[in-house]
Amino acid sequence: MKQNKQQLRCGYCGRPAILRPASEIYHDPRKNGYVYACSHYPACDAYVSVFPDSKIPMGTLAGSALRQKRIQAHQTFDQLWLSGIFSRDQAYRWLSYKLGLPLSQTHIALCSNYLCDQLIMESQKVLKNNRQRSCVA
């Protein structure tokens, strides 16, 4: 069998990730699509979603603590463009600059725990500054 160089591995235990139906991982038959889960799942609770209608992973495999952190980071970051401070494009450009990552690598699903913390901190700074500004005006 041909070895796939791009094979995704679990960053926690080093085992290869395998494509599984999302409904199995989320225990929800209504979930469509697939996720890459650690081949040692559920003993090793690490997985990552794929982009809709594809088998391309959205980022690196995450265990439950990192998944929660990424959700929190996304919610904080999304406020930047949902509130109209930035457009969505501007927000990702700003984030890529703040994290020192190329724009193509600026995905919250690729962020480590440390980068998520940085992202939350930087996003909160912008949100706070803009709130103050609108209070004065």
Question: Interface residues with Zn ion (CB under 5 A)?
Answer: 10, 12-13, 38, 40, 44, 46
> Residue 38 Cβ, how far from Zn ion at the closest point, in Å?
3
Count of other CB atoms within 10 angstroms of residue 105: 11
Cis peptide upstream of residue 42 (ω within 30 degrees of 0) = yes
- What is the nearest approach in angstroms of Zn ion to the Cβ of residue 3? 20
β-bridge mates for residue 35, sequence order: 20, 49
Query: What would the DSSP string read from start to end of 27-38?
Result: T-TT--SEEEEE
Handedness of CA 111, 117, 85, 48 (dihedral sign): positive
Considering beta carbons, is residue 41 or 94 the nearer one to Zn ion?
A: 41
- Provide, rounded to whole angstroms, the least separation between the CB of residue 37 and Zn ion: 9
Nearer to Zn ion, 22 or 127 (CB): 22
Nearer to Zn ion, 46 or 73 (CB): 46
In the chain, the amino acid numbered 9 is R
Nearest alpha carbon to residue 17 among 51, 52, 41, 43: 41
CB of 52 to Zn ion, least distance (A): 24
Q: Considering beta carbons, is residue 14 or 83 the nearer one to Zn ion? A: 14
Residue written as token pair 């979603």: 49
